[in-house]
Amino acid sequence: MNFDLQEENLIIKPYKSNESIYVREQKGVYQKIRRLLSWILIFIFISLPFIQYDGQQAILLDIAKQQFRFFSVTFWPQDFILLASIFMVGAFSLFFVTSWLGRVWCGFVCPQTVWTLAYVWVEHRVEGTRNQRVALDKQPMTFNKLQKKGIKHFLWLLMSLISASTFISYFVPVTQLYNNIVQLDCSGTVTFWLCFFTLCTYGNAGWLREKVCTDMCPYARFQAAMFDKSTLLVAYDKSRGEKRSPRKLKDDPKAFGLGDCVDCNLCVEVCPTGIDIRNGLQYECINCALCIDACDETMERFNYSKGLISFTSEQALSNEKSKESIIK
């Protein structure tokens, strides 16, 4: 639910507006961690089906034979209670991490985030920087625009196809699957799932992106229930930042009665969900820390101390005895 105050009338919009979000590419400590984790996870996802053990695919969920092979162990349908237990342990671990570190799962390792990061990276390489993408979308259709859009969507579809075939290779022996794909000789069932997962990946990571996190993911909705005052969240230090205002590099903010926020808007431009963290804790925030890196860069440029936006807790911000901010 989105509330909008307009001329003293409270307008309630049931859905968020459909404005496109043009994410500015940002470098920084947290983005290095995110990229490294993304590469590691993608590498593991793609390479696991190729591992052979004892002359067979080491990890294979063979639905036709109703068996799940995991290296030397084979699980049968009656063993799936074990799988349920593993899922339960995984779920409770996730809840524990969420109450401790907030939505780090969402911001750093969720497949939706990892895939979107890769698709946005491709978009940036093909269509250019944030400002160039905004300008390109405003232009009427020209050959240059058509070419850029065509290349981007081709690459997105190719990535989706690779992703879909990798996923299916956990269910169909990898050598058989890729032989069939190369020879265009897949069964009807495999062809259906290949097209289905290709389109799902293309739609989710290419088009829907943050809407999956803000409007579709059920986990996003109930995570706040696991937060307490010591949960680490991405937050803006209002007492230090306000009163915000642009200024020159050499200006002394105290002389003008200003806080440290120079109102450069970078924290908003890098945000993949399009929010302004200066407005306080919002359910759309996935704790990706892009705004931290962006703000730190600005603070460095103005020779102010970093951490105006940081991973911190409500307690730390209100100067109570608590865990310290990760970045000072």
Which of these ranges, 9-17, 55-63, 246-254, 293-301, lies near ligand SF4 under the rule CB under 6 A? 293-301
> Residue ranges of the alpha helices (H) in the chain?
29-47, 80-101, 104, 111-127, 130-138, 143-168, 174-182, 188-201, 210-211, 218-222, 238-241, 266-269, 290-301, 314-317
Which of these ranges, 109-117, 135-143, 164-172, 294-302, lies near ligand SF4 under the rule CB under 6 A? 294-302
Report, in Å, the least distance between residue 233 CB and ligand SF4: 9
Among positions 228-267, residues that touch ligand SF4 (CB under 6 A) are: 234, 236, 241, 244, 261-267
Which residue from 294, 310, 311, 317 is in contact with ligand SF4, where contact means CB under 6 A? 294
295 binds ligand SF4 (CB under 6 A): yes
Closest CA to 240 of 258, 252, 267: 258
Q: What is the spatial distance between Cα 260 and Cα 241, in angstroms, rounded to a whole number?
A: 5
Which residue from 118, 161, 177, 290 is in contact with ligand SF4, where contact means CB under 6 A? 290
Structure tokens at 131: 């400002």
- 120: helix, strand or coil: helix
Structure tokens at 203: 């739609």
Closest CA to 309 of 325, 326, 292, 328: 292
Q: Between 28 and 241, name the residue whose CB sits nearer to ligand SF4.
A: 241
Distances (CA, A) of 307 to 42, 285, 311, 313: 31, 18, 8, 13
Q: What is the spatial distance between Cα 61 and Cα 172, in angstroms, rounded to a whole number?
A: 8
217 binds ligand SF4 (CB under 6 A): no
Q: Between 117 and 294, name the residue whose CB sits nearer to ligand SF4.
A: 294
Report, in Å, the least distance between residue 26 CB and ligand SF4: 9
277 binds ligand SF4 (CB under 6 A): yes
Report, in Å, the least distance between residue 253 CB and ligand SF4: 11
Which of these ranges, 45-53, 122-130, 148-156, 278-286, lies near ligand SF4 under the rule CB under 6 A? 278-286
β-bridge pairing 2-6 and 309-312: unpaired
Q: Between 166 and 298, name the residue whose CB sits nearer to ligand SF4.
A: 298
Report, in Å, the least distance between residue 293 CB and ligand SF4: 9
117 binds ligand SF4 (CB under 6 A): no
Q: Between 42 and 290, name the residue whose CB sits nearer to ligand SF4.
A: 290
Q: What is the spatial distance between Cα 35 and Cα 39, in angstroms, rounded to a whole number?
A: 6
Binding-site ranges for ligand SF4 (CB under 6 A): 234, 236, 241, 244, 261-267, 270-273, 275, 277-278, 285-291, 294-295, 298, 308-309
